[in-house]
Structure 1
Amino acid sequence: MVTNNSEPVPYPRDFVPPGVRIAGGIATVQGLVLLGFAVYLVVHALLGHREETVQISGYGTAIWFVIMGGAVTAAAIGLLRNKRWGRGLIIIAQLVLLPVSYYLGVGSEQWAAGVIVGASAIVVLVCLFRRESLEWYAA
């Protein structure tokens, strides 16, 4: 918070800026989607589906998505609960999602998914780098 004389005013202990709440909400959805995709991969592998052209284990990929989805979800919930430690992990996840969104659109021709992933990553980054979000983080 900034007063009229441009001196920073400390935030109350329980205050979370709207931008951080928006970023936390979007990142929570992203993490839950990763966890849901992990469940899908496990079920798919249990039903006997094997990738013929690429030697990728559905179980191994699912474990990776559980790790990433769990970390992103935990960090996002941390942001929503006024825990600053989640911000760095969420920023890194969004920076990883930007090239993923490009690949979804250009490489896989799943344009809708690419636009959704890319737009959500940009919104989260903008929210976390807004002035009040930076002041909250620095407090």
Structure 2
Amino acid sequence: MPVTSPPPLVVAASLTAVEAVMMVGLGLLEVASLNSVRLTMGVTTAAFFVGAGVALAWCAWSLWRASRWARGPVVMAQLIVLGLAWNLWDGATKVLSLGLAVVALVVIAGLVHPASTELLED
């Protein structure tokens, strides 16, 4: 019988999936901008973003299916996003920084919500 995930966990998993799609997109954009001067750096950067995006997508899917193991990697990813948001706060990237921080905090809140915790701990 399939498990019905509580809304906070569904929101967290959905936003994590959006983040995963964005990471894969960044990797593909990196591939599109490859040139011979920075070929090695471009290929490894693209591989990192695509790999991390696929891994995050797997975690999002696992959260949606209420697999408790996925919570840790997703929380870690959100802490990294919060650090990135902090780093981008100055200058013209303030709106991007705020958006990243809000998404990360909503995902973390969804993961630690009592209904999510109860489902993931059972």
Query: TM-score if structure 2 supplies the norm length?
Result: 0.89
Moved over 3 A (4+): none
One-letter code of the match for 1:38?
Answer: G
Unmatched segments (≥5 aa) in structure 2: none
1:61 is aligned to 45
Q: Which has the larger radius of gyration?
A: 1
1:34-86 CA-to-partner distances (Å, cap 9, x unmatched) read 000000001101xx2757xxxx8121111111121111111001111232222
2:88 is aligned to 104
Q: Secondary structure at the match of 1:78?
A: helix
Q: For residues 75-114 of structure 1, what are the structure 2 equivalents within 5 Å?
A: 75-106=59-90, 109-114=92-97
Instruction: Report which of the two has the higher share of helix.
Output: 2
Q: For residues 1-139 of structure 1, what are the structure 2 equivalents within 5 Å?
A: 14-45=3-34, 48=35, 50=37, 57-106=41-90, 109-139=92-122
d(CA) in 1 for partners of 2:18 and 2:37? 28
Higher RCO, 1 or 2 (CA under 8 Å, sep at least 6)? 2
Q: How much does 1:13 deviate?
A: 5.3
Aligned length: 121
Identity of aligned residues (%): 26
Asked if the contact 2:8/2:116 (under 8 Å) is kept, the reply is yes
Q: How much does 1:20 deviate?
A: 0.6
1:9 is aligned to none
RMSD, aligned CA? 1.9
Give the 3 Å change call, closer, same or farther, for CA 110–50 of structure 1 in structure 2.
Answer: farther
Unmatched segments (≥5 aa) in structure 1: 1-11
Q: Secondary structure at the match of 1:15?
A: coil
Give the 3 Å change call, closer, same or farther, for CA 50–122 of structure 1 in structure 2.
Answer: farther
